[in-house]
Amino acid sequence: MLTRWLRKILPGKPEAAATYSHKQVLPQNEHGITPDGISYAAEKVVSRLQQAGFEAYVVGGAVRDLLLGIEPKDFDVATNARPEEVRKVFRRSRIIGRRFQIVHVMVGPETIEVTTFRGGSRPARQNEHGRIMQDNSYGSMEQDAARRDFTCNALYYNPARGEITDFHHGVADIRAKRLVMIGDARARYQEDPVRMLRAARLSGKLGFQVAPDTAAPIAECLHLLPKEPLARLFDEVMKLLFSGAAIDCLKQMQALGMDGQSVHPLLACALERLPENQGRGMVALALNSTDSRLRADQGVSVGFVLAAVLWPQVREAWQRAQSSGLRTMPALSAAVAETRAHMEKGWGVPHRFTASMREIWQLQPQFEHRRSARPFRLLAQPRFRAAYDFLLLRARAGEVEQGIADWWTAFQEADEEQRKQMIQAAEQRPDSGDAPAKKRRRRRKKKTGAADKGAAE
């Protein structure tokens, strides 16, 4: 109890303290957010921490989205309680993270991420490039706000009082649709290079204009991104591709001078094919479809989307292999193996995604075959549905005849007798994808002559 009381009157070291003359506390009638917009789990975590004598607020993207009229996907909480103190308040919780220690609190099916206010003007330990390697220094809410990335993410909402605390004009920037880095942008990108990708994603997704001072250092700091851990970089790429506005985010990357090759090979593939056929290519069609599904709160498959992003590369390798004399299936297998070899050289793509991508690709030639029992065998494949959806995309992109896609659509909806009739009709057409089956001629047994018989004896 004494430690907690001392922390309230001495939130940080004297030398780390800072003054914020523009601190604003906005009541509910000025910002319009009501406690009803906060999830039950987030409200419970905040109220329990406050009842235990700590400060606690809903913070970051959830507050930003509520101000924009967007329903938040998740809620984060910031508090002056240390991780081990949060852990004592909530039985269903765990401390995670090496670089930043945070607490995951489980409330029903929902997980709330709880972070302790960070202190100090600089992180505890950085490498030679300025990247934060370890940062478990704690401080006050004001110091924590200064350590956040963009002004729109440095807002603290107290559901009990209905107030937003704003230290960096974040509310004004949100209303002006402006993305502004807190502090010196160049130094902040050096601390965490992933912030450059975050700038492209947030501005593309929210339709914000990146402030000139925030955008200017990006081109000269791009070389820092490949030095990031692969898993973290891949995770940020996934957030961009599955943001619900992937095309806009990729365009923002281009506008900010971020060429994909300097960031991640997956983004390079996406950016290279983006203008193809005025947005009617595989990549644009797949990303637009994914955006629509995410906006409609429908499920999406990571493996499917990545398969579409990399398909132009696989298709070109497939065509090269066929030109060299390989038949259809061996040529495709060679193309898939070539693409996998590239991915395994530092792309950070988990095996579970590469496996589904490979299966989707390798089933594509089988849609050309509509004779005998082959359609039934293809229909029974575990990845049939994903491969069929992929076929529909290829048809929309003009890679395969629409008639083939329509045939498979009808085949799925038909009953057993209708399917047999469809196969019989396909066998009568020369364009069914299979060469007519050749009848095997039975070999006649040679008659053994008298001379041969004698020789045998």
DSSP 92: S
Give the span between the Cα atoms of 17 and 19, in whole angstroms. 7
Characterize the bridge pairing of strands 125-126 and 132-134.
Answer: antiparallel
- List C-alpha distances in Å: 269 to 200, 263, 276, 342: 17, 11, 12, 12
The one catalytic residue among 65, 76, 173, 192 = 76
What are 416's two structure tokens? 């057993």
Query: Tokens 């209303």 map to which residue?
Result: 175
What are 38's two structure tokens? 């906060």
The type of residue at 276 is E
**269 Cβ neighbours under 8 A, 6+ residues apart:** 260, 283, 309, 310, 312, 313
What are 305's two structure tokens? 């989307």
The type of residue at 165 is T
Contact 268, 382 (CB under 8 A): no
74 is catalytic: yes
**400 Cβ neighbours under 8 A, 6+ residues apart:** 367, 391, 394
The one catalytic residue among 65, 135, 144, 149 = 149
- Which candidate, 282, 338, 390, places its Cα nearest to that of 378? 390
166 is catalytic: no
What are 116's two structure tokens? 């302790």
DSSP 431: T
Cα torsion through 199, 201, 349, 102, rounded to 10: 70
- State the DSSP H helix or E strand holding residue 94, giving kind and residue range, or none if neither: strand 93-96
149 is catalytic: yes
The one catalytic residue among 74, 259, 389, 434 = 74
The residues that are catalytic are: 74, 76, 149
